[in-house]
Amino acid sequence: MTRKSDKTKREFMDAAHMLFLKKGYDNVNVQSICKQAGKAKGLFFYHFDKKENIVKLLLEEQLTAMAKALKKLLDDMDASEIEKMDFLMNTIVSKDGPGPEALRYFKKGGLPLWIDLYAQAFRDKYIFPIILSLVESGIEKGDFKYCSKESTEIIYLGISQFIHKNFCTFGDEESYIRGVGAISRTLETALGVPVGSIDIK
């Protein structure tokens, strides 16, 4: 892809991102994205084929950046592995956490299945390795008891499912509190750390 083509693609992505955040995915059509970007409709379909694909690219870009930033923050933290795990869980699970903005394009009715599955695949690709690395480091330093890769995967699956179910709205505060409390206790039990060590807020 040429530099000019890259620039055009970026302009479409920036325009779509702004419109999706402002109006919601369902209220934005390809024509409005083209108008915002100041580009021809044919160019849009050359780069993205359909509207869904521009969201997938934006989500991938955001999750990649989020994972990279999280990894750097954890690497630079002067803290125990328990403290790092607490920080990580609060970042990826909490309703006030940053999260990828692309999941906020969908204003009502939760995430459509196609974006939900796409988001899960990328979370699994980028976030799970960070958790696994933290667990392995914690075991090595004696902060956590032995926790196999398989059990870490099971824990992560529970966390991932919670995010999928609740990310869009977190509308029921009581259910949210129960859910994050259960994740906190599950992590503490699995890692063999005292109750209250991991407090997802």
What does 115-131 look like in DSSP terms, one character per residue?
Answer: HHHHHHHHHHHHTHHHH
Residue in 74, 62, 138 with CA at minimum distance from that of residue 100? 62
* pLDDT band at 12; cut points 50, 70, 90: very high
- Looking at the chain, the whole-number percentage of residues with pLDDT higher than 90 is 39
Using an 8 Å Cβ cutoff, are 43 and 52 in contact? no
- The predicted structure's pLDDT at residue 122: 81
- Three-state SS for 58? helix
Residue 97 DSSP symbol? S
Q: Which one of 1.10.10.60, 1.10.3720.10, 1.10.10.10, 1.10.287.90 gives the CATH number of domain 1-49?
A: 1.10.10.60
Residue 144 DSSP symbol? S
- Three-state SS for 21? helix
pLDDT tens digits along 144-156: 887 777 888 877 8
Residue in 93, 97, 87 with CA at minimum distance from that of residue 183? 93
Structure tokens at 193: 């750390």
Using an 8 Å Cβ cutoff, are 103 and 115 in contact? yes
pLDDT tens digits along 45-85: 999 999 999 999 999 999 889 889 999 999 999 999 999 99
Q: What is the mean pLDDT of the chain?
A: 85
